[in-house]
Structure 1
Amino acid sequence: MAGHGAPVLSPENLDNTADLRVAVVAAQWHRQVMDGLLDGARRALKELGIDGATELRVPGTFELPVAAKRLADAGYDAVVALGVVIRGGTPHFDYVCQGATLGLTQVTVDTGVPVGFGVLTCDDEQQALDRAGLPGSAEDKGHEAVTAAVATAAALRGALGPRR
């Protein structure tokens, strides 16, 4: 399972995160999986003491990078991108996965704003359900994406001071 060997974040990695401005941008395709990812993201935000995070829904995973870029440019300290792409019988899967991955990477590199990568790229629906943080799921990628983005924002703040 991919979650094996995940880092254990110490309290100092997540210290003083309550005032971070966080946005979560989520695709709308595959409602059951997306509902699980969003619930996991919301749980993580609550556990970190972050209230009032902005949520933005976009049509699909391919649209995540443009929304993430606008949110990063708007002054958010961290952005979390949630989506799911399930392999089909055409190359569409490859194009969407590559576009979303490269686009979100470009956002974080260009803006210096951490982007939590909560995009599931699965061979079938069961793999997505197993990672969606639903009851019975083996993993909670929405929660993990928030934790990663917020921990990175907190580390950058600790090293460089608040974002301007």
Structure 2
Amino acid sequence: MSGKGAPQLSVKNCQDLRVAVVAAQWHEKVMDGLVDGALRALHEIGIDEPTLLRVPGSWELPVAAKVLAGRGYDAVVALGVVIRGGTPHFDYVCQGVTQGLAQVAADTGVPIGFGVLTCDDEAQALDRAGLDGSAEDKGHEAVTAAVSTAVVLRSLSEPWH
């Protein structure tokens, strides 16, 4: 299981953070699970009014994340799914999206939660989508990681004692 060894993150004192979720539309059932998990995680930590933006596919996530990061959000969560097919398209999309989101985070200093599933088949994606019967909830995990990082970064601007 890919989630083995994941840290148990506890996110506190973050209700005032501005968080955006940008999600692809391809693979509706998987995406519904990822978005639901992300929104549930935000609600659990006290962020009840996040911005939710939908883009056509995973390829569009980096540009949308960059615009959101530039508009004062403390964290952006990118959600998508790319399922392997019979052509190299999978490799190009996965690499481009991953590098693009990493570049947005590095360029802007805004944590980007990586909730993009890169799976060999639909069954793997469903198992990670946070649906009933799924082994993992990657939408929830992406929010927790991004917001936790935003809290850490905010602490850098606070006076040290």
SS across alignment from 1:128: helix
TM-score normalised to the size of structure 2? 0.97
Give yes or no for the alignment of 1:19 onto 2:13: no
Query: Aligned-pair distance for 1:106?
Result: 0.3
2:96 maps to 99
RMSD: 0.7
Give yes or no for the alignment of 1:87 onto 2:108: no
CA displacement 1:93-137 (0-9 Å, x = unmatched) = 001001100000000000000000000000000000000000000
1:47 maps to 44
1:64 maps to which of 61, 66, 84: 61
2:7 maps to 7
Unaligned ranges ≥5, structure 1: none
SS across alignment from 1:33: helix
Moved over 4 A (4+): none
1:77 maps to which of 67, 74, 77: 74
Give yes or no for the alignment of 1:154 onto 2:146: no
Identity of aligned residues (%): 77
Mapped contact 2:9–2:145 kept (Cα < 8 A): no
Give yes or no for the alignment of 1:38 onto 2:30: no
SS across alignment from 2:54: strand
Quote the Cα distance in structure 1 between the aligned partners of 2:140 and 2:54.
Answer: 17
Say how many residue pairs are matched: 158
Query: Aligned-pair distance for 1:158?
Result: 1.1
Quote the Cα distance in structure 2 between the aligned partners of 1:73 and 1:126.
Answer: 36
CA displacement 1:114-163 (0-9 Å, x = unmatched) = 000000000000000000000000000000000000000001111224xx
1:121 maps to 118
Quote the Cα distance in structure 2 between the aligned partners of 1:9 and 1:128.
Answer: 23
